[in-house]
Amino acid sequence: MSVPMLDMKAQYATIKTEVDAAVAEVLEMQHFRGGPITEAFERELAAFSEVAHARGVSSGTDALLVMFRAAGIQPGDEVITTPFTFFATGGALVNAGAVPVFADIEPDTLNMDPERVRELITPKTRAIVVVHIFGQSANMDAFMALAAEHGLMLFEDNAQSLGARWKGMRTGSIGYGAGVSFYPTKNLGGAGEGGAILTNDDKLAENVELFRCHGSPAQYEHIVVGYNSHLHAMQAAILRVKLRHLEAWNAARRAVAAEYNRLLADVAEITLPYDHGMGEHVWHQYVLRMPRRNDCVKIFKEREIGHGVFYPKGLHQQTCFQGITKAGPCPETERACKEVLALPIYPELNPAQQAEVVAAIKDHLSA
Q: Are 48 and 243 spatial neighbours (Cβ–Cβ below 8 Å)?
A: yes
By CB under 6 A, residue 56 contacts ligand PLP: no
In the chain, the amino acid numbered 211 is F
Nearest-approach distance from CB 191 to ligand PLP, in angstroms: 13
**How far apart are CB 284 and ligand PLP at their closest, in Å?**
7
CB of 96 to ligand PLP, least distance (A): 14
User: Should residue 88 be labelled a site residue for ligand PLP when binding is judged by CB under 6 A?
Assistant: yes
Q: Which of 11, 59, 109, 139 binds ligand PLP (CB under 6 A)?
A: 59
Stretch that binds ligand PLP, among 56-64, 105-113, 209-217, 249-257 (CB under 6 A): 56-64
Q: Does 85 bind ligand PLP (CB under 6 A)?
A: yes
Binding characters for ligand PLP, 154-193, by CB under 6 A (x = yes): ---x-xx--------------------x-x---------x
Binding-site size, ligand PLP (CB under 6 A)? 15
Which DSSP string corresponds to 267-284? -TT-BPPP---SS----S
| Residue 98 in contact with ligand PLP, rule: CB under 6 A | no
38, 54 in Cβ contact below 8 A? Answer: no
End-to-end C-alpha distance for the chain, whole angstroms: 20
Nearer of residues 192 and 356 to ligand PLP, judged by Cβ:
192
Residue 211 near ligand PLP by CB under 6 A: no
Contact status: 195 vs ligand PLP (CB under 6 A):
yes
- Shortest distance (Å) from residue 89 CB to ligand PLP: 5
Q: Are 128 and 73 in contact (CB under 8 A)?
A: no
106 vs 364, beta carbon nearer ligand PLP = 106
| Beta strand 195-199 pairing with 169-170 | unpaired
Least distance in Å: CB of 181 to ligand PLP? Answer: 3
Q: Which range binds ligand PLP by CB under 6 A, 83-91, 137-145, 296-304, 311-319?
A: 83-91
User: Could you please report the per-residue DSSP string of 302-361?
Assistant: HTTB--B-S-SS-GGG-GGGTTT-EE---HHHHHHHHHEEEEP--TT--HHHHHHHHHHH
Q: Which of 96, 131, 256, 330 binds ligand PLP (CB under 6 A)?
A: 131
Where helices occur in the chain by DSSP H, the ranges are 8-29, 35-49, 60-70, 88-95, 114-120, 140-150, 202-212, 233-243, 246-264, 293-302, 331-339, 351-366
Minimal CA–CA distance to 55: which of 178, 157, 188, 197?
197
Phi, psi of 106 (to 5 degrees): -80, 135
Q: Is 128 helix (H, G, I), strand (E, B) or coil?
A: strand
Q: Which is nearer to ligand PLP, 161 or 354 (CB)?
A: 161
Contacts to ligand PLP by CB under 6 A: 59-61, 85-86, 88-89, 131, 157, 159-160, 181, 183, 193, 195
